[in-house]
Amino acid sequence: MSRIGNKSIPVADGAEVTVDSGTVRVKGKHGELSFNFHPNMEVVWDADARQVQVNRPNDQPQNRALHGLTRALIANMVLGVQEPFVRKLEIQGVGYQAVLTGKELALQVGFANTVRLQVPDNVICEVPSTTSIIVKSTDKQAAGQFAANIRRVRPPEPYKGKGIRYEGEQVRRKAGKAFGS
């Protein structure tokens, strides 16, 4: 039995859930999200208990996999409309910096040209200082994907640790040639 899929999803008072014809819509104070779930899954909204339950028809491997996945995606939607997901990034390196102008994030990270990334519509990007970036979104996947796209521009390198990293990320450092022998 699926431990994740069998758990019910509690919904706080600030969120509204509607389930109709293969679509779950969750609306809260920070936005609205919708998700088209697989036709094999059954999603039940209990308004009295204020919880969502995901059921599967049988124990076939595909249905077992979809059971936990569907429940986790809906739970992330419920959490996201109540409090946005946040990913924080740090920029380390001499002269490395980030500047936000409108919906465009400009990164100067040691390349000859400035790297410019367009901020997606459902993502809020903040640059409190030139060496830190905050990515917020009600959609967990969108926040994580944009943060990963930023990090991919210049991942931290193992010799000096320069680059863009997640806040608190430990970079495994290597000894250089001078300390090798």
Same domain, 90 and 77: no
Question: Is position 171 within any domain?
Answer: no
Looking at residue 179, its pLDDT comes to: 57
Same domain, 89 and 162: yes
CA distance 127 to 92: 14
Question: Is position 1 within any domain?
Answer: no
Residue 162's domain is classified under what CATH number? 3.90.930.12
Smallest Cα–Cα separation from 59: which of 51, 71, 68? 68
For 48-103, how does the pLDDT look when each residue is reduced to its tens digit (9 = 90+)?
A: 999 999 999 999 999 999 999 999 999 999 999 999 999 999 999 999 999 999 99
Looking at residue 18, its pLDDT comes to: 93
Same domain, 131 and 66: no
Token pair listed for 57: 């028809």
Give me the number of domains the chain comprises: 2
Q: Any idea which residue has 């959490």 for tokens?
A: 79
Query: Per-residue pLDDT averaged across 2-24, rounded?
Result: 90
Q: Any idea which residue has 């970079």 for tokens?
A: 171
Same domain, 107 and 159: yes
Same domain, 71 and 130: no
Q: Which range of residues forms the domain containing residue 56?
A: 9-82
| Domain end call among 29, 64, 82 | 82
Looking at residue 91, its pLDDT comes to: 96
For 149-175, how does the pLDDT look when each residue is reduced to its tens digit (9 = 90+)?
A: 999 999 999 999 999 999 999 989 988
Looking at residue 181, its pLDDT comes to: 54
12 neighbors 56 (Cβ within 8 angstroms): no
Same domain, 93 and 77: no
